[in-house]
Amino acid sequence: MNNIIEIKDLTKKYDNFTLGPLNIEIPKGMIVGLIGENGAGKTTLIKCILNIIKESSGEIKINGKEKEKDFEDIGVVLDNSFFPEILTASNINNIMKSIYKHWDSKLYNDYLKKFNIPSNKPLKTLSCGMHKKLEIITAMSHHPKLLILDEPTSGLDPVVRHEVLDLFMNFIQNEENSILLSTHITSDLEHIADKIIFINEGQVIFNEDSPTLLNNYGILKCTNTEFNNLDKKDILAYMKNKYNVDVLIKDLNKVKKKYKDFVIDKITLEDLMVLMIKGEKIC
């Protein structure tokens, strides 16, 4: 069993939004990034996986078993959902040690110290960054094998984000551990994610290894007239700006040889997202 999560033909229907049908596999030992606009379906997907909402159809397996009723080995950070705000970090320790079999109070307290989180102050008095860090370490203190994190880095300043990403890299030092995280801050994922799943309007736009993705795509920049002379089959999507045209291309090296005189940039996930969502396509 090499996949930690397997999703088959998953759909979730709402009145004005439908997620899927999705088929996604998340391999063990990897950091998988889920990207997409707000409202693209990232949170809905995560909530389906976690049984917070019920899928309309399809199948989700976690570690080979039917979607587990028991989440002993999973650590979770949800967007905007945590312990009531008048509780303290030490209250959380007290509660969690009666909830998880493998809750590690020592580890939790070490984390608190490491991140300078006060243990006796109500959560509502913590800064946004502190709060998020507390959510993350709470998710990690029962030695989970899988972390499912919805927007774990939103609201964090760059220094703290760096600390948190480091924590994630530490977590996957164990080859059995895996992380699925959603974010709209795509720069976080560019280096650390092994795989990127891009969701838009409830559909998977692509699902690829991140080194392949980042080395294979590029942006060609040209003028309007130059654009008309481009070979149409090289154009994945394009966006006409006032003074130039941004063209999303695949097979970076091949295209670079073909159009030697053009400016061609390496792609960032952000560009890729914007061009795929907002850009026009030639069909």
* Site membership for other proteins, residue 277 (CB under 8 A): no
| Contact call for residues 279 and 237 (beta carbons, < 8 A) | yes
Convert residues 160-199 into a mask of x (bound to other proteins by CB under 8 A) and - (unbound): -----xx--xx-xx-x---------------xxxxx----
- Stretch of residues binding other proteins (CB under 8 A), selected from 56-64, 209-217, 231-239, 270-278: 209-217
Q: Which is nearer to other proteins, 31 or 276 (CB)?
A: 31
The DSSP string of 216-242 is: H-EEEEE-HHHHHHS-GGGEEEEEE-S
Kindly tell me the burial class for residue 145, based on how many C-beta atoms sit within 10 Å of its own C-beta (0-12, 13-18, 19 or more): middle
* Site membership for other proteins, residue 211 (CB under 8 A): yes
Which residue of 214, 219, 255, 269 would you call a contact of other proteins, by CB under 8 A?
214
What torsion, rounded to 10 degrees, do the Cα atoms 211, 215, 221, 225 define? -120
Which residue of 17, 39, 52, 278 would you call a contact of other proteins, by CB under 8 A?
52
Cα three-residue angle 197-173-45, rounded to 5 degrees: 25
Cα three-residue angle 68-44-196, rounded to 5 degrees: 90
For the bound state, the minimum distance from the C-beta of residue 83 to other proteins, rounded and expressed in Å, comes to 6
Cα separation, 199 vs 40, in Å, equals: 6
Q: Which is nearer to other proteins, 79 or 281 (CB)?
A: 79
- Spatial CB neighbours of 45, under 8 Å, sequence gap ≥ 6: 10, 19, 22, 34, 182, 199
Measured in degrees and rounded to the nearest 5, phi and psi for residue 78 equal: -105, 155
Of residues 54-113, those binding other proteins (CB under 8 A): 54, 69-72, 74, 76, 78, 80-87, 91, 94-101
Of residues 216-255, those binding other proteins (CB under 8 A): none
Assign 3-class secondary structure to 156-200. Answer: CCHHHHHHHHHHHHHHCCCCCCEEEEEECCCHHHHHHCCEEEEEE
Give the count of beta carbons closer than 10 Å to the beta carbon of residue 50: 18
Closest C-alpha among 128, 131, 52 to residue 87: 131
Q: Which is nearer to other proteins, 166 or 251 (CB)?
A: 166
Which residue of 8, 18, 25, 29 would you call a contact of other proteins, by CB under 8 A?
29
Number of residues that bind other proteins (CB under 8 A): 53
- Stretch of residues binding other proteins (CB under 8 A), selected from 18-26, 110-118, 208-216, 219-227: 208-216
For the bound state, the minimum distance from the C-beta of residue 75 to other proteins, rounded and expressed in Å, comes to 9
Which residue of 5, 10, 22, 30 would you call a contact of other proteins, by CB under 8 A?
30
- Greatest alpha-carbon pair distance for the chain in Å reads 68
Q: Which is nearer to other proteins, 57 or 228 (CB)?
A: 57
Which amino acid is it at 13?
K
For the bound state, the minimum distance from the C-beta of residue 158 to other proteins, rounded and expressed in Å, comes to 13
Q: Which residues bind other proteins (CB under 8 A)?
A: 29-31, 47, 50-54, 69-72, 74, 76, 78, 80-87, 91, 94-101, 122-123, 165-166, 169-170, 172-173, 175, 191-195, 209-211, 214-215, 266
